[in-house]
Chains A and B, each alone.
Chain A
Amino acid sequence: MNVIEVNNLSKKYKDILAVDDITFSVEKGSIFGMIGPNGAGKTTTIECTIGIKKRDQGMISVLGFDPLEKSIDLYKKIGVQLQETSYQDKIKVHEICSLFMSMYSEPLDYVPLLERFNLSNKNKSFLSNLSGGQRQKIAIILALIANPEIIFLDELTSGLDPKARREMWTYIKELKNEGRTIFMTTHYMEEAEFLCDTICIIDEGKLIATGDLQSVINKADIDTIITFNTKEDIVTAIKNNITGISKLEITENKISIYSKNADLISELILFLEKNGISYNNVNIIRPTLEDAYLKMTGKSWKE
C-alpha cells in the first residue's frame, strides 16, 4: 500500500523550474530516500508533498489527503524535520517539547523520547546551548511527538560526525521497525545504501532513477572491474574465451577486466582453473551508489 503518491509534480519559483514533472510513490512502512545535488529540488519536493509550498502542477496524496486541502487532518499524522529551522530564542528543551505535546490529541510523551535519544540530562537546557547533533535529535523528537505514521526528514544527518550519523541510522531503522514510513533526503551515499528501501535520484528538478539500491545502480550501466595478478600472458586467451568484456588493461602483471556483466567473475575463475593458469590477488570492484549517482548527475564525470 502506498502512503504517499506524487504524480507529475511541478513547481516553479519565478524563473527557476525547481521540480519538473516528478512522479513517485512511497510504500507504507518503507524508507524512501531522495538524493541529488545541491539545488536539485529535494527540499521543494518535500515541502510540496507536505503542503507548505503550493505546487504548480500535479496530484499529491499523503495518507489519502491532499496536503493543500485537508492539511490539519494530515498534520496530526505526520512528523516533520525541515532542513532549516531554529527555535525561539531562549527556549528550553522541555518547553519546546511540552509545547509540541500540547498540539496533539494523542502525543508521545517527550520524557521517554529524550531518554531514548540520550538527552535526558538536557531537559532543562536552552536549545541554543545544544550541539548541532543534539539539536538534530531534538528535531527528530519533535517530529516523533506527533506519534506520526510518516516522518519527513530533510537532511537530518548533515553536519553530524560519523559516529553521531551512525547513531541516527539506528534510530531511523528503529522507527521503521515500529511500522512508520520514512521519507528522507541525504547527501551521504552510504547512508542511502544502508537505510533506504527505495532510492530516488533527482537532478535539476527531474527524476533520474528510482527503485531499490540494485536497480538504481544497474540503471547507471557502469562496469564492474575485476583485477588479478598473473605472470602468464593470457590476454588474448581471455579475449577469445570470455564474452562481455568492455575493456581490458594490463599493468606489469596485473590484469583489469571491465565488464557490465557482474557474473563474469565465475566464468573467469572457471577459465583460469581449467587452463591451469596460476593467479592471485583477485579483486572485484562493483559499482556503488556513489558511482551511479556521480554518473547520472555529474556533468563532467563521464566514462
Chain B
Amino acid sequence: MNSFIKVIFIEWKLNNRNFLNVFFALFFPVMMLMLFGTMYGNEPIAQFGGFGSIDVSIPGYICIIIAVTGLMTLPLTLSQYRERKILKRFMVTPIKPIDLLSSQLIVNTVTTIIGMIILLIVAKIIFEITFIGNFLKTTIAFIIVLLSMFSIGLFIAGISKTMKAATVISYIIYFPMLFLSGATIPLEFMPRSIINLSKIFPLTYGVELLKGVWLGGNLLDYMNDILILSSIIIIFISLSIKFFKWE
C-alpha cells in the first residue's frame, strides 16, 4: 500500500481509539443539540426571521466541531508527536514528518465531517430542521472556517514546546470561543459588552459566515467575515511554516 495512505489509515484508527477525540467531535455537539433543543424547541420565531431556534443554532454547533478538531485534537496530537520524538523518528525514513502532519489534517477534516453528518441526522430526525441554503456556497463557507481553525491549530502545535503548553494554549483559546463567539449561545441574546468582546475571537466570524450562508445568504453578503478569516488563514499558515519546530 502507498505509504501516505497507510499513514492516514493508521492515524485514523488511532484517532478513533482516543475517547476524548471521539467524544468531543462526535457526541458532545449532539448532546448540546439535545439540551438546547429540549429547552427551546424548534418552532419558528420572529426574532430569528421565521426560523426555529435549532435551525439557527446548527451552523454554530458545526463551528464547535471544527473548533474541537482544529484547536484541540490537531495541536495536541501534533505537539505530543513532537514531544515524544515521533516526528523525529519519521525524519530518518523515506517518508517525511510532514506526511504525518498532513495525515493529521486529513483525519481531523474527516472527523469534522462525520461529526457534522451525525449532528445533522439527529437534528433532522428529532427536530425536523430545514436547510434552505445553497449546498455549494455552504461548502465553501465550511472550508473557509475549517481552514482558519486548522491554521491556528497548526500554529499552536508549531510553537508550543511541550504537549502541556499546547494544552494550555488550546484551552485558553477554545473555551472562551465556545461560549462567546455565538457558537453555543446566539450573540443576539448577549449584552453589548459581550458582543464587543466577541469580535476578538476568530470563530465569531466563522459562525456569522456559516450561519448566514446556511440560512440562505450569499457569500458576497459576508465579505467582511471572509476577508478576516482568509487573513487568519494566510497569517497563521505563514507563521506555522516559519516557526514550526519538528523537534
A92 and B222 alpha carbons, distance in the complex (Å)? 47
A99 and B7 alpha carbons, distance in the complex (Å)? 7
Q: Which residue of B lies closest to A72 (CB)?
A: B94
> Quick check: which of A23-31, A77-85, A239-247, A283-291 contacts chain B, the rest being far away?
A77-85
Q: Tell me, rounded to whole Å, the shortest Cβ–Cβ distance linking B22 to chain A.
A: 12
Q: Tell me, rounded to whole Å, the shortest Cβ–Cβ distance linking B5 to chain A.
A: 8
Q: Is A165 an interface residue (CB 8 A)?
A: no
Q: Is B14 an interface residue (CB 8 A)?
A: yes
| A95 in contact with B13 (CB, 8 Å) | yes
| A103 in contact with B3 (CB, 8 Å) | yes
A82 and B95 alpha carbons, distance in the complex (Å)? 17
A86 and B84 alpha carbons, distance in the complex (Å)? 6
Q: Is B93 an interface residue (CB 8 A)?
A: yes
Residues of A within 8 A of B17 (CB): 89-90
A103 and B2 alpha carbons, distance in the complex (Å)? 8
Q: Which residue of B lies closest to A90 (CB)?
A: B17
Residues of B within 8 A of A103 (CB): 3, 93-95
Q: Tell me, rounded to whole Å, the shortest Cβ–Cβ distance linking B81 to chain A.
A: 7
User: Which of B88, B91, B93, B95 has the most chain A CB atoms inside 10 A of its CB?
Assistant: B93
Residues of B within 8 A of A80 (CB): 89, 92
User: Which of B14, B81, B89 has the most chain A CB atoms inside 10 A of its CB?
Assistant: B89
Residues of B within 8 A of A282 (CB): none
Q: Is A194 an interface residue (CB 8 A)?
A: no
Residues of A within 8 A of B6 (CB): 98-99, 102
Contact with B along A248-290 (1 / 0, CB 8 A): 0000000000000000000000000000000000000000000
Q: Is A121 an interface residue (CB 8 A)?
A: no
A75 and B81 alpha carbons, distance in the complex (Å)? 20
Q: Is B10 an interface residue (CB 8 A)?
A: yes
| B93 in contact with A89 (CB, 8 Å) | no
Q: Which residue of B lies closest to A91 (CB)?
A: B14
Q: Is A100 an interface residue (CB 8 A)?
A: yes
Contact of A85 among B7, B10, B86 (CB under 8 A): B86
Q: Is B45 an interface residue (CB 8 A)?
A: no
B interface SS class: helix
Q: Is A300 an interface residue (CB 8 A)?
A: no
| A75 in contact with B89 (CB, 8 Å) | no
Q: Which residue of B lies closest to A86 (CB)?
A: B84
| A102 in contact with B2 (CB, 8 Å) | yes
Report the count of interface residues on A (CB-CB < 8 A). Answer: 25
A86 and B163 alpha carbons, distance in the complex (Å)? 14
Q: Is B220 an interface residue (CB 8 A)?
A: no
Residues of B within 8 A of A87 (CB): 84, 86
Residues of B within 8 A of A90 (CB): 14, 17-18
| A85 in contact with B88 (CB, 8 Å) | yes
| B2 in contact with A86 (CB, 8 Å) | no
User: Which of A82, A88, A91, A95 has the most chain B CB atoms inside 10 A of its CB?
Assistant: A88
Q: Is B199 an interface residue (CB 8 A)?
A: no
A301 and B85 alpha carbons, distance in the complex (Å)? 36
| A89 in contact with B18 (CB, 8 Å) | yes
Q: Tell me, rounded to whole Å, the shortest Cβ–Cβ distance linking A54 to chain B.
A: 12
Q: Is A104 an interface residue (CB 8 A)?
A: yes
A253 and B11 alpha carbons, distance in the complex (Å)? 73
Q: Is B1 an interface residue (CB 8 A)?
A: yes
Interface residues of B in 31-75 (CB under 8 A from A): none
Q: Tell me, rounded to whole Å, the shortest Cβ–Cβ distance linking A165 to chain B.
A: 23
Q: Which residue of B lies closest to A100 (CB)?
A: B93
A85 and B2 alpha carbons, distance in the complex (Å)? 24
| B85 in contact with A82 (CB, 8 Å) | yes
Contact of B10 among A72, A75, A76, A91 (CB under 8 A): A91
| A82 in contact with B88 (CB, 8 Å) | yes
Residues of B within 8 A of A76 (CB): 94
Q: Knowing A75-B94, A95-B10 touch, does A52 contact B18 (C-beta < 8 A)? A: no
A163 and B81 alpha carbons, distance in the complex (Å)? 32
Q: Is A50 an interface residue (CB 8 A)?
A: yes
Residues of A within 8 A of B86 (CB): 85-88
4 interchain residue pairs of minimum CB distance = A102-B6, A102-B3, A90-B17, A86-B84
In the complex, 7 of the A-B residue pairs with CB atoms within 8 angstroms, ordered by the A residue number, are A80-B92, A82-B89, A85-B88, A90-B14, A100-B93, A102-B3, A103-B94
Interface of A toward B, CB cutoff 8 Å: 50-52, 72, 75-76, 78, 80, 82, 84-91, 95, 98-100, 102-104, 146
Interface of B toward A, CB cutoff 8 Å: 1-3, 6-7, 10-11, 13-14, 17-18, 80-81, 84-86, 88-89, 91-95, 247
